[in-house]
Amino acid sequence: NDSLADGGTSLPIPPILKDENPDPGKAEFTLVAQKGSMEFIEGKPTDTFGYNGDYLGPVIRVKTGDDVSIKVKNEIDEATTVHWHGLEVDGDQDGGPHSGIQPGTTWNPQFKIEQNAATLWYHPHLLHETGEHVYKGLAGLFIIDDEDSDNLDLPNEYGVNDIPLIVQDKQLDENGQFTYDLSMHDVMMGLQGDTIMVNGAINPYVEVPKGKVRFRLLNGSNARIYQFQLSNNQKFYQIGTDGGLLEKPVEMDKLILSSAERAELIVDFSEYEEGETVELTDKGTSFMKFIVTGEEKGPNNVPSKLVDIPDPDETMAARTRKFVMSGMGRNVSINGKQMDMDRIDEQLKLHDTEIWEISNEGMGMMGNNMGMAHPFHGHGTQFLILDRDGNPPPPNERGWKDTILVAPGEKVRAIATFDHKGLFMYHCHILEHEDAGMMGQFNVE
Ligand code: C2O
Ligand code: CU
Ligand code: CU
């Protein structure tokens, strides 16, 4: 196919990890954190980390109700952890900074999937090392299916018209290495590279069938906030947020996604000619290409109703808890404090519903909104946004969220129920901020 010859690399599709337990309702996986090597630039192999391979990791795919057991082996030379971002499990299975896996050892978390269909992800969470471990390639998708998602008429042929896109920006040095020597600028803004990779490939193309195609988009970058758009300004539908499907598809022509946020999108390629292409851009800069080819596939329409999302009910909340993000550079903090492994910052009661009021003081200069946006993430539950500065959230944020971008000067209120016990983290998901201490601990009991 001629159109492909000049198209660069074909998009790698992360494999779905083999479930080693044949019993229905049970799932068993083995994940190995290992060292690898990738030739992103010809002749200049890059030292990387990956799970079960050289770079990134396979997709862990489970069903609601499954009893899951995962053996996580650490074959890199340093301690790491694996955290299930967005998963609602007890604190001791959550893979936070207290669950260090020493080199050569195995950690075996076990949990039941109690939440609805969603596109989650997993990544390391060791104190002060999260940024570097993720940057070198440790990250993968964690997909949950349920009856609702199975019965909806959505594109669902994995790798064909249901395509994962893990978007990350990287900086390769003259030797082709991922340098993780943070400059003052990197510490302040978070590490932002000039090369955008998708599923570990630079400027890839992917062939998509005519018809509706679903993309599971993860901003797996350390810090960058993307504004995704199609190069022809074509509209698309957002059908899912961090923690599952939306109530109904939201038509849009651009999507802002901060670090760790996910979105499920449907793009309609049915009007394209055979071989026609369109590019996916960040703030107008193209970083990957879709080539429409082959027979029309999948559903004719986007379902007008997806799932039920409860109306957030403030009267259910036992209390409002405040989180104030402030500072800059190495002084970033939440509620004026930096992470201390031996200090529990917030004590919660199991099964309580709470409103979390998350505000961004900017650089803490009175009366101005200078500073930067911080994506706030809470573990162990999913939130519904009540309001942003008193206004209802935009339609594409009226779904389950575990990571909420808060602009300088902004105040966001979100509501969640805490049905899992144990010690959990809340933090800024700009990994350089998290590693600098913009994180705290809450205990649910
Ligand atoms: Cu994506 Cu606390 O992590
Ligand atoms: Cu998390
Ligand atoms: Cu931050």
Nearest bound ligand to CA 376? 3
Q: Of how many residues is the chain composed? A: 445
In this structure, are 321 and 283 located in the same domain?
no
Determine, yes or no, domain membership for 307.
no
Determine, yes or no, domain membership for 98: yes
Same domain (yes/no): 271, 376: no
- Looking at the fold, whether 136 and 15 belong to one and the same domain comes out as yes
Last residue of a domain, one of 233, 257, 292: 292
| CA of 374 relative to ligand 3 center, distance in Å | 4
Predicted local distance difference test score (pLDDT) of residue 369: 54
Residue 15 lies in a domain: yes
Atom of ligand 1 nearest to the CA of 379: 2
**pTM here?**
0.97
Do residues 249 and 380 both lie within one domain? Answer: no
4: left (phi over 0), alpha (psi -120 to 50) or beta: alpha
Looking at the CA of residue 121, tell me the nearest atom of ligand 1: 1
Output the pLDDT for position 42. 87
Q: Is 256 exposed, middle or buried (0-12, 13-18, 19+ CB in 10 A)?
A: middle
430 C-alpha to center of ligand 1: Å? Answer: 10
Question: Do 199 and 134 belong to one domain?
Answer: no
Which residues in 305-325 are b (16+ Cβ under 10 Å) and which e? ebbebeebeeeebeeebebeb
Does any domain span residue 303? no
Same domain, 174 and 269: yes
Residue 200, sorted as left (phi over 0), alpha (psi -120 to 50) or beta, turns out to be left
Structure tokens at 199: 């599923």
On whether residue 12 sits in a domain, the answer given is yes
DSSP state of 56: B
Q: What is the ipTM of this complex?
A: 0.99
| Number of domains composing the chain | 3
From the CA of 96, the nearest ligand is: 1
DSSP letter at 46 equals E
pLDDT in tens, the chain (445 residues): 334 445 579 999 999 999 999 999 999 999 999 999 999 988 999 999 999 999 999 999 999 999 999 999 999 999 999 999 999 999 999 999 999 999 999 999 999 999 999 999 999 999 999 999 999 999 999 999 999 999 999 999 999 999 999 999 999 999 999 989 999 899 899 999 999 999 999 999 999 999 999 999 999 999 999 999 999 999 999 999 999 999 999 999 999 999 999 999 999 999 999 999 999 999 999 999 999 998 998 899 999 999 999 999 999 999 999 999 999 889 999 999 999 999 999 999 999 999 999 999 976 555 555 689 999 999 999 999 999 999 999 999 999 999 999 999 999 999 999 999 999 999 999 999 999 999 999 999 9
Q: Is the same domain home to 272 and 360?
A: no
Distance from the alpha carbon of residue 230 to the mean position of ligand 1, in angstroms = 29
**306 assigned to some structural domain:** no
Ligand 1 centroid from CA 108, angstroms: 19
Estimate to the nearest angstrom the gap between the alpha carbon of 62 and the chain centroid.
17
Kindly state whether residues 141 and 196 are assigned to the same domain: no
Atom of ligand 1 nearest to the CA of 427: 2
Q: What is the CATH number of the domain that holds 375?
A: 2.60.40.420
Strands 140-145 and 106-107 come out as unpaired
Domain that holds residue 332: 314-444
Quote the CA–CA distance of 135 and 112 in Å, as a whole number: 29
**Atom of ligand 1 lying closest to residue 260 CA:** 1
Strand partners, 211: 297
- The answer as to whether 157 is a domain residue is no
Same domain, 88 and 216: no
Residue 380 domain-assigned? Answer: yes
* d(CA 83, ligand 1 centre) in Å: 7
Question: What single-letter amino acid sits at 335?
Answer: N
The residues lining ligand 1, judged by C-beta closer than 6 Å to any ligand atom, are 83, 85, 123, 125, 260, 377, 379, 425, 427, 429
Phi and psi for 315 in degrees, rounded to 5? Answer: -70, -15
**Nearest listed ligand to the Cα of residue 190:** 3
138 and 8 share one domain: yes
- Picking from 357, 364, 369, the residue whose alpha carbon sits closest to that of residue 331 is 364
Give, for 92, the enclosing helix (H) or strand (E): none
Ligand 2 mean position to 85 CA, how many Å? 4
**CA–CA gap between residue 22 and residue 19 (Å, rounded):** 7
Residue with the smallest CA separation from ligand 1 atom 3 is: 85
Show Cβ contacts of residue 229 under 8 Å, excluding neighbours closer than 6 positions.
Answer: 253, 254, 255, 280, 281, 282, 284
The last residue of one of the domains, among 146, 174, 203, is: 146
Query: Closest ligand 1 atom, CA of 426?
Result: 2
DSSP 397-419: GSS-BSEEEE-TT-EEEEEEE--
Statement to judge: residues 372 and 336 lie in one domain: yes
Ligand nearest to the CA of 381: 2
Which letter does DSSP use for residue 282 in this model?
E
Domain boundary among 146, 179, 212: 146
* Nearest ligand 1 atom to alpha carbon 439: 2
Residue minimizing CA distance to atom 1 of ligand 1:
85
Q: Are residues 261 and 199 in the same domain?
A: yes
